[in-house]
């Protein structure tokens, strides 16, 4: 099949009607960088991903296996008249694509595969007992070594005579010794060597059979001189064959030197310690392979044990106030009594915070004191282990169990023999624990011998290339062994980008979704250069993006609009930036020209006394920092990617505040103390994670308005007549829902090599309900039709039921009026999900004294949407809430009341507080990247107003 049979210079899309697209035509120029922009919900994703990418992927499947093709008919063909000139398409999205919990940065970028090969080919094994290099001796290498001895030295080539027999029992030995000697004689070996004596074997009886271990068979007698090499090699080979891979070279004493016994072996073992090692091969270096994985932890790097953070969840509590959680249970009050006795004796105060006890005192409490007959926390748990046959004890133990680093491999995941193999003095786990910048330096400066270079050159080239791509996309601070599951959406996307750069595919269509997410303005230019590079090597690049610098760098811009949902779906403009700037009706153009802008507030809220104080935060890369977050205002946390923003806000601030309330079971980020929690009635993290993982969750179930809608349907005359109650209108429980798809409306089919494919349920045709239930109508619409309404349409449809409209209006307020009530949670973007969550809090009106935490809330938002979002934030603060935002968007940063800038760089070079203050103060600071970019941004704003 040929995909590129058109000769035109562009991909031509005709009659696209996917989602809200209004039968649009558009051309994408080949080998160019095109940015698709427009307000959130206008149809950018529907065009770029759901039409163009989907068609590219479908054509690609057509060219693949029969197995894949059988689903083709059922694979949704995008609703488009035709797409001409499409090339193989690659989507680089924000979704974390990996489901393997062991997947890491190194495995995702294929660097791991190359490293395994590299270690297998040129790694050197060092004995873990004596540190010597472990080698396997070849006849050639032995000969080379022997020929360095003093010329004219006489020596014997021997092999151990009775290796096998020595291992067997005494009673069997006499007979087998005879048989063995016979067989040796038959093979032509007629001399034995024992402690300096040569024994001539006339008959097997010539040997008396004492001291079997020190008896050798003499293969050859030689003298060191130049032409002896070949004969020596032959003799060693004979000795290896007959002696089970062992050979000895015994020199005779000369005038200058005493006699010497040198041992060599064909086995891969330490000649001194006699420890056998495994030959390096790729599977030895894989923790996914049972052969290479550490057997204690099965390659996970951690094992389950008791977790002190769970046992002492709040280190601010004193011992008498119940710092040791298990001892607050009535059934263990005896342990508390023992603790009291011990504390009295050891003079440990029971009424101060556990954290304020000296390290020695804490140690006594935890590890016990034998002399004082005090068991300690550890002893208590050892005792519990012996009572595990009781169910309630098992339940209790499970509550305090957590992951601890594996005692055997200390988290390295590989078995000892793999860890003994090194290159440039580092073993594989050590290399994997390097940050990308350090790994790049390591491999750039690695010096190899000529032979090693010949074997490993290609591998090294691939490794270096990939590391440099990762540097280019700004991920220098990530370690190679970082788990993929802990990466942010932006980081994960940039890793896919680097991986694709590594594969240097040409002639493909790359479709990207907001690649600037998570990037500080400082690093935007680098990202843009990479996309241009991708284009210049012969690819077509299509980017959905809102960020100004990216729009300004595009060859072509496609502006989708004008509004969202029903009010969008049209191509407002396609062409170059120059022409876009002249457009009258484009919102994007108005913002780019500065006619519209996100206003900088003239007055900022005053900073009061109430604040949250974080003391000594040291999780991940944080450098034992103290941070004050003022309450009742909007605070922005800024800094380059990897500087520590998420660590400070998610792991330290959020987790510790939650832990203080007993609402956090896992480990909270390390810090000495978080003060000020008493000012807060609640702490709410509004992040971009999906609002539900099944298609059965949707915006109206999430904001709890669906319950009311179901009641409305259940209260109709027809429903009552059929005996339907509110639960029949639910897709979560059997009753009214379609049972074929269990209310999903779709069926998921797993494909071997592509992402899973969703197919519309054949039974209910995607309506999710039984046909009998669909006959029940309220104001002439059935439940399925109501779920198809947009939020705005529903507001007028239910206008007489304020319980419904009040909540729906909040969705409209946060800019989601275009969403359909029943649009499944799985199709919402991260930004939309975040705004649905925001709406649910606004609808509850419980925001007084609540601390809201947002993580890049501008994801997916156009300038125009940001204005709306800021209005919602204002409402929350006016109602008494406090807001903390992790953000790179300069329009949001400039409107904040307070900025906390972290840095200066990502990873180890970050984790410091660089600056704090009002935006006007931050822009004066030379050493803050945020200050520098904010200053430029504000100058532009002023010029353009």
Residue 481 in the binding site for ligand ADP (CB under 6 A): no
* Residue span binding Zn ion (CB under 5 A) among the ranges 44-52, 121-129, 557-565, 759-767: 759-767
Among 406, 428, 571, 674, binds Zn ion (CB under 5 A): 406
Task: Please list the residues that pair with 261 across neighbouring strands.
Answer: 250
Q: Which does 486 bind (CB under 5 to 8 A by kind): Zn ion, ligand ADP, none?
A: ligand ADP
Among 763, 801, 916, 935, binds Zn ion (CB under 5 A): 763
Residue 830 in the binding site for ligand ADP (CB under 6 A): no
Residue 639 in the binding site for ligand ADP (CB under 6 A): yes
Residues 437, 476: contact at Cβ < 8 Å?
yes
Question: Which residues within the stretch 872-901 sit at the binding site for Zn ion (CB under 5 A)?
Answer: none
Q: Residues 6 or more apart from 188 whose CB is under 8 A from it?
A: none
Measured CA to CA in angstroms, residue 656 lies from 488, 621, 653, 666 at distances of 21, 17, 6, 10
- Nearest distance in Å: CB 442, Zn ion: 24
Among 620, 659, 710, 888, binds ligand ADP (CB under 6 A): 620
One DSSP character per residue, 512-545 reads: EE-TTTT--HHHHHHHHHHHHHHHHTT-EEEEE-
Residue 787 in the binding site for Zn ion (CB under 5 A): no
- Nearest distance in Å: CB 620, ligand ADP: 3
Among 86, 297, 657, 922, binds Zn ion (CB under 5 A): 297
- Nearest distance in Å: CB 78, Zn ion: 22
Up-side HSE of residue 566: CA atoms within 13 Å toward CB?
10
Question: Which residues within the stretch 860-899 sit at the binding site for ligand ADP (CB under 6 A)?
Answer: 860
Among 123, 489, 563, 565, binds ligand ADP (CB under 6 A): 565
Residues 627, 616: contact at Cβ < 8 Å?
no
What does R_g of the chain's alpha carbons equal in angstroms? 36
How far is Cα 639 from Cα 906, in angstroms, rounded to an integer?
9
How far is Cα 560 from Cα 265, in angstroms, rounded to an integer?
74
- Nearest distance in Å: CB 427, Zn ion: 14
Residue 907 in the binding site for ligand ADP (CB under 6 A): yes
Question: Which residues within the stretch 831-860 sit at the binding site for ligand ADP (CB under 6 A)?
Answer: 860
- For 3, counting Cβ atoms within 10 Å of its Cβ (0-12 exposed, 13-18 middle, 19+ buried), the class is middle
- Nearest distance in Å: CB 260, ligand ADP: 53
Among 761, 787, 795, 839, binds Zn ion (CB under 5 A): 761
Residue 294 in the binding site for Zn ion (CB under 5 A): yes
Closest residue by Cα to residue 533 from 459, 458, 466, 473: 473
Closest residue by Cα to residue 813 from 865, 882, 886: 865
Question: Which residues within the stretch 24-63 sit at the binding site for ligand ADP (CB under 6 A)?
Answer: 38, 40-46
> For ligand ADP, which is the closer residue by CB, 314 or 823?
823
Residue 243 in the binding site for ligand ADP (CB under 6 A): no
- Nearest distance in Å: CB 240, ligand ADP: 49
> For ligand ADP, which is the closer residue by CB, 592 or 637?
637
Measured CA to CA in angstroms, residue 816 lies from 358, 834, 870 at distances of 54, 11, 14
Report, in this order, helix, strand and coil percent for the chain, each rounded to 5.
Answer: 40, 20, 40
Which ranges constitute the DSSP H helices of 639-716? 645-646, 655-660, 699-702, 706-714
* Residue span binding ligand ADP (CB under 6 A) among the ranges 476-484, 588-596, 806-814, 923-931: 476-484
Among 381, 443, 469, 477, binds ligand ADP (CB under 6 A): 477
Question: Which residues within the stretch 248-307 sit at the binding site for ligand ADP (CB under 6 A)?
Answer: none
> For ligand ADP, which is the closer residue by CB, 423 or 913?
913
Q: Which does 453 bind (CB under 5 to 8 A by kind): Zn ion, ligand ADP, none?
A: none
Task: Please list the residues that pair with 558 across neighbouring strands.
Answer: 36, 574
Binding mask 713-752 for Zn ion (x = CB under 5 A): -------------------------x-xx-----------
3-state secondary structure 86-111: CCCEEEECCCCCCCCCCCEHHHHCCH
Among 496, 516, 524, 823, binds ligand ADP (CB under 6 A): 823
> For ligand ADP, which is the closer residue by CB, 43 or 931?
43
> For Zn ion, which is the closer residue by CB, 408 or 908?
408
Measured CA to CA in angstroms, residue 729 lies from 22, 706, 733, 870, 885 at distances of 32, 10, 9, 36, 38
Q: Phi-psi region for residue 606, left (φ > 0), alpha (ψ -120 to 50) or beta?
A: beta
- CB count within 10 Å of CB 168 equals 11
* Residue span binding ligand ADP (CB under 6 A) among the ranges 143-151, 422-430, 638-646, 703-711: 638-646
Task: Please list the residues that pair with 134 across neighbouring strands.
Answer: 125
How far is Cα 769 from Cα 774, in angstroms, rounded to an integer?
7
Closest residue by Cα to residue 847 from 808, 873, 814: 873
> For ligand ADP, which is the closer residue by CB, 122 or 467?
467
* Residue span binding Zn ion (CB under 5 A) among the ranges 115-123, 288-296, 452-460, 528-536: 288-296
Q: Which does 561 bind (CB under 5 to 8 A by kind): Zn ion, ligand ADP, none?
A: none
> For ligand ADP, which is the closer residue by CB, 639 or 743?
639
Q: Which does 297 bind (CB under 5 to 8 A by kind): Zn ion, ligand ADP, none?
A: Zn ion
Residue 483 sits at φ, ψ, to 5 deg, of: -70, 130
Residue 819 in the binding site for ligand ADP (CB under 6 A): yes
- CB count within 10 Å of CB 850 equals 19
- Nearest distance in Å: CB 787, Zn ion: 14
Residue 745 in the binding site for ligand ADP (CB under 6 A): no
Residues 501, 3: contact at Cβ < 8 Å?
no
One DSSP character per residue, 390-414 reads: SHHHHHHHHHTEEEEE-TTTTT--B
Q: Residues 6 or more apart from 410 whose CB is under 8 A from it?
A: none
Residues 922, 930: contact at Cβ < 8 Å?
yes
- Nearest distance in Å: CB 41, ligand ADP: 4
Which ranges constitute the DSSP H helices of 71-211? 105-108, 111-122, 139-146, 163-167, 170-186
* Residue span binding Zn ion (CB under 5 A) among the ranges 129-137, 491-499, 753-761, 838-846: 753-761
Residue 730 in the binding site for ligand ADP (CB under 6 A): no
Q: Which does 294 bind (CB under 5 to 8 A by kind): Zn ion, ligand ADP, none?
A: Zn ion
Q: How many residues bind Zn ion (CB under 5 A)?
A: 12
Q: Which residues here bind ligand ADP, judged by CB under 6 A?
A: 19-20, 38, 40-46, 477-478, 482, 486, 565, 620-621, 639, 641-647, 818-820, 823, 827, 860, 907
């Amino acid at each position: 099949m040929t995909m590129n049979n058109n000769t035109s210079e562009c991909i031509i899309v005709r009659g696209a009607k996917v989602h809200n697209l209004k039968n649009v035509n558009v051309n994408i120029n080949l080998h160019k960088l095109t940015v698709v922009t427009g307000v959130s919900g206008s149809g950018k994703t529907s065009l770029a991903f759901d039409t163009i990418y989907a068609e590219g992927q479908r054509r690609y499947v057509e060219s693949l296996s029969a197995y894949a093709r059988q689903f083709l008919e059922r694979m949704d063909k995008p609703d488009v008249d035709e797409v001409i000139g499409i090339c193989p398409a690659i989507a680089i999205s924000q979704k974390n694509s990996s489901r393997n919990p062991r997947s890491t940065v190194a495995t995702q970028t294929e660097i791991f595969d190359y490293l395994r090969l590299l270690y297998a080919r040129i790694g050197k094994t060092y004995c873990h007992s004596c540190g010597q290099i472990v080698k396997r001796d070849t006849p050639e290498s032995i000969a080379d070594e022997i020929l360095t001895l003093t010329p004219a030295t006489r020596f014997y080539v021997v092999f151990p005579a009775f290796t096998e027999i020595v291992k067997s029992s005494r009673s069997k030995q006499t007979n087998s010794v005879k048989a063995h000697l016979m067989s040796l004689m038959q093979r032509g070996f007629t001399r034995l060597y024992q402690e300096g004596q040569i024994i001539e074997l006339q008959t097997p009886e010539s040997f008396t059979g004492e001291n079997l271990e020190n008896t050798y068979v003499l293969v050859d007698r030689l003298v060191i001189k130049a032409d002896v090499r070949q004969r020596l090699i032959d003799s060693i080979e004979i000795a290896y064959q007959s002696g089970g891979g062992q050979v000895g070279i015994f020199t005779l004493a000369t005038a200058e030197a005493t006699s010497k016994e040198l041992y060599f072996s064909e086995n891969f073992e330490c000649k001194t310690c006699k420890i056998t090692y495994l030959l390096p091969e790729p599977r030895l270096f894989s923790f996914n392979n049972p052969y290479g994985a550490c057997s204690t932890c099965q390659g996970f790097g951690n094992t389950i044990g008791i977790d002190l953070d769970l046992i002492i969840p709040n280190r601010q509590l004193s011992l008498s106030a119940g710092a040791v959680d298990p001892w607050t249970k009535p059934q263990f009050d005896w342990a508390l009594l023992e603790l009291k006795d011990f504390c009295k004796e050891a003079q440990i105060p029971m009424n101060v915070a556990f954290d304020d006890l000296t390290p020695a005192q804490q140690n006594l409490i935890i590890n016990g004191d034998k002399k004082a007959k005090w068991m300690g926390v550890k002893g208590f748990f050892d005792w519990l282990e012996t009572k595990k046959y009781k169910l309630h004890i098992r339940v209790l133990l499970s509550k305090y169990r957590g992951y601890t680093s594996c005692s055997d491999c200390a988290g390295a995941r590989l078995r000892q023999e793999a860890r003994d193999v090194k290159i440039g003095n580092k073993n594989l786990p050590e290399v994997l624990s390097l940050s990308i910048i350090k790994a790049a330096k390591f491999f750039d400066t690695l010096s190899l011998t000529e032979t090693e270079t010949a074997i490993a050159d290609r591998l090294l080239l691939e490794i270096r290339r990939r590391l440099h791509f990762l540097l280019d996309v700004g991920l220098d601070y990530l370690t190679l062994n970082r788990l993929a599951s802990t990466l942010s959406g932006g980081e994960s996307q940039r890793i896919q980008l680097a991986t694709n750069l590594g594969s240097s595919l040409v002639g493909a269509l790359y479709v990207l979704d907001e690649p600037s997410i998570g990037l500080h303005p400082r690093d935007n230019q680098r990202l843009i250069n990479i996309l241009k590079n991708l284009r210049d090597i012969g690819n077509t690049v299509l980017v959905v993006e809102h960020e100004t610098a990216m729009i300004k760098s595009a060859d072509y811009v496609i502006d989708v609009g004008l509004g969202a949902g029903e009010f969008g779906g049209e191509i407002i403009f396609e062409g170059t930036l120059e022409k876009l700037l002249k457009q009258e009706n484009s919102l994007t153009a108005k913002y780019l020209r500065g006619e519209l802008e996100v206003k900088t507030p003239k007055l900022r809220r005053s900073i009061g006394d109430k604040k949250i104080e974080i003391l000594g935060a040291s999780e991940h890369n944080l450098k034992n920092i103290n941070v004050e977050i003022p309450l009742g205002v909007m605070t922005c946390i800024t800094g380059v990617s990897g500087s520590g923003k998420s660590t400070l806000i998610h792991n330290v601030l959020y987790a510790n505040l939650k832990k203080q309330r007993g609402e956090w079971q896992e480990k909270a980020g390390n810090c000495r103390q978080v003060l000020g929690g008493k000012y807060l009635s609640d702490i709410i993290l509004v992040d971009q994670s999906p609002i539900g993982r099944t298609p059965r969750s949707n915006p109206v179930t999430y904001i709890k308005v669906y319950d009311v809608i179901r009641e409305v349907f259940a209260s109709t005359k027809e429903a009552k007549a059929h005996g339907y109650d509110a639960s029949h209108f639910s897709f979560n429980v059997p009753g009214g829902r379609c049972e074929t798809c269990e209310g999903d409306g779709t069926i998921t089919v797993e494909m071997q090599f592509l992402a899973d494919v969703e197919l519309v349920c054949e039974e209910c045709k995607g309506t999710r309900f039984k046909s009998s239930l669909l006959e029940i109508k309220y104001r002439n619409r059935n439940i399925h039709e109501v779920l198809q309404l947009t939020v705005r349409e529903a507001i007028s449809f239910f206008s007489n039921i304020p319980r419904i409209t009040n909540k729906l209006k909040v969705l409209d307020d946060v800019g989601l009026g275009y969403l359909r009530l029943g649009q499944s949670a799985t199709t919402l973007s991260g930004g939309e999900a975040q705004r649905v969550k925001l709406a649910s809090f606004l609808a509850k009106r419980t925001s007084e004294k609540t601390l809201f935490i947002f993580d890049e809330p501008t994801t997916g938002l156009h300038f125009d949407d940001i204005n709306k979002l800021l209005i919602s934030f204002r409402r929350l603060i006016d109602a008494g809430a406090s807001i903390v935002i992790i953000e790179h968007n300069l329009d949001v940063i400039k409107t904040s009341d307070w900025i906390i800038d972290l840095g200066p760089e990502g990873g180890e070079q970050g984790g410091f507080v660089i600056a704090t203050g009002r935006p006007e103060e931050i822009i004066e600071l030379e050493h803050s990247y945020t200050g520098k970019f904010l200053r430029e941004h504000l100058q532009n704003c002023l010029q353009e107003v």
